Amino acid sequence: MRTIFFILQKEFLQVFRNRAMLPIIFVMPVIQLLILAFAANYEIKNIRIDIVDQDRSSWSQRLTHKILASGYFELNDAPLSVKAAYEHLAQDDADLILVIPPNFERNLVRQDKASLQLLVNAINGSKAGLANGYATNIIRSFNKDVRAEWLAMDERNGPPRIDVTYSNWFNQEMNYKYFMVPGILVVLVTMIGAFLSGMNIVKEKEVGTIEQLNVTPIRKHHFIIGKLLPFWIIALFELAFGLLLGKLIFHLPMEGNVLLIFLFAAVYLVVMLGMGLLISTFTDTQQQAMFITWFFIIIFVLMSGLFTPVESMPDWAQKITWFNPITYFVKVIRMVMLKGSGWEHIRHYFFIMCAFAVVINAIAVWNYRKTV
């Protein structure tokens, strides 16, 4: 035990003496949370629209107002010809064109129906989809207004009696940040766990001090514990720091017990530290360690359900995510924070994570023994 204490003391001295380290610990979470939470946003506002109103009637005016008042669209231009609008689309000045053809009002009044044309710039697929969806919704709602006003008196063609209303559970306002920030916290903790621990061990190899340590009576498990424990502590501190920032800046809800998150994180970090250790046994320089860790983390993060739902991945990819520790933590932290899930709901994931921890560390320690 005393040996571990001496190693810990040395590690903390080295970590906090490293000028690059303190900014990483304190500035990185702030920047990541602020930038990612605001930037990585699925809600699209300020979609630039060109409205070609060839009808110039009171109804076409009403539609235009309704669209612009929704808050999703920003009028780029209102040219008279469709050709000019195409030009805007081609030059990427506009994302969407709405063409209101001549006689829109007349057709609406006389024939009870009128057509509109929507042209979407689909280079950015998800943006196009959303723009189309928003616009369609608004037009449908406009349609309903029209029917309500014109046909309310008519018994046979009255306004639709059934209307679907919906409410969003667990994230009432569909606040995108409530959804993203917990996930970003997971990435943050992962970075500290997997990157710093692996690089720290490889550094001893690179500098040559590991040879000196190998001739001392330090036992391998003492060395490993002494090396990994500091980052376990730092990463848990980061999580607490990040949660606090989330609370202060984004007013994140905490429906469940925060201790459950820390309990899960404690085991999750053992997995990540084990991964760092495993990578350090394969590599000789910090550069190699960093690239290999980066490779895995990128795949893990992209396939974690943080940005895109796991359910929308192809079948084979969903199977891979079963072996992705980040998936579980992202899921659990969202469940606990937004839904208030308790121990009985996350127990299953907790045990899976424990199994990961045992397996990856067994491989890492076994490999570590073999190499040195």
Partner 1 sequence: MDKAIVTDQLTRRFGDFIATDAITFSVDRGEIFGFLGANGAGKTTAMRMLCGLLKPSSGHAKVAGYDIATQTELVKKNIGYMSQKFSLYEDLTVKENIRFYGGIYGLSNQRIKEKTAQLLDKLQITKEANQLVSSLPLGWKQKLAFSIAILHDPSIVFLDEPTGGVDPVTRRQFWDLIYEAAHQNVTVFVTTHYMDEAEYCDRISMMVDGKIKALDTPRKLKEQFSAVSMNDVFLQLARQQTVSNQ
Residue ranges that bind partner 1, judged by CB under 8 A: 2-3, 5-7, 9-10, 13-14, 17-18, 207-209, 211-219
Beta carbon of residue 218, minimum distance to partner 1 (angstroms, whole number): 5
* Cβ at position 255, least distance to partner 1 in Å: 44
Write down the least CB distance from residue 363 to partner 1, Å: 22
Cα Dmax for the chain:
95
Closer to partner 1 by Cβ: residue 12 or 59: 12
Of residues 329, 175, 330, the one with CA closest to residue 252: 175
Collapsing DSSP states into helix, strand and coil, what is residue 340?
Answer: coil
Least separation in angstroms between residue 233's CB and partner 1 is 19
Comparison of 136 and 214: residue with beta carbon closer to partner 1? 214
Question: Minimum CB separation from partner 1 for residue 276, in Å?
Answer: 20
Phi-psi label, residue 198: left if phi above 0, alpha if psi -120 to 50, beta otherwise: alpha
Using the minimum distance from each CB to partner 1, give the nearer residue, 207 or 302.
Answer: 207
Please, what is the minimum distance in Å from the beta carbon of residue 16 to partner 1? 10
CB-nearer residue toward partner 1: 143 or 367: 367
Report helix, strand or coil for 347.
helix
Q: How far is the CB of 281 from partner 1 (least distance, A)?
A: 16
Q: Evaluate whether 276 touches 360 at the Cβ level (below 8 Å).
A: no
Reduced 3-state DSSP string for 217-273: CCCHHHHHHHHHHHHHHHHHHHHHHHHHHHHHHHCCCCCCCHHHHHHHHHHHHHHHH
CA torsion 231-234-238-239 (nearest 10°) is: 70
Judged by beta carbon, residue 20 or residue 39, the one nearer partner 1 is 20
For partner 1, give the closer residue by CB, 2 or 156. 2
| Axis-axis angle for helices 325-334, 343-371 (nearest 10) | 150
Say which residue the tokens 């933590």 belong to: 329
148 or 372, CB closer to partner 1? Answer: 372
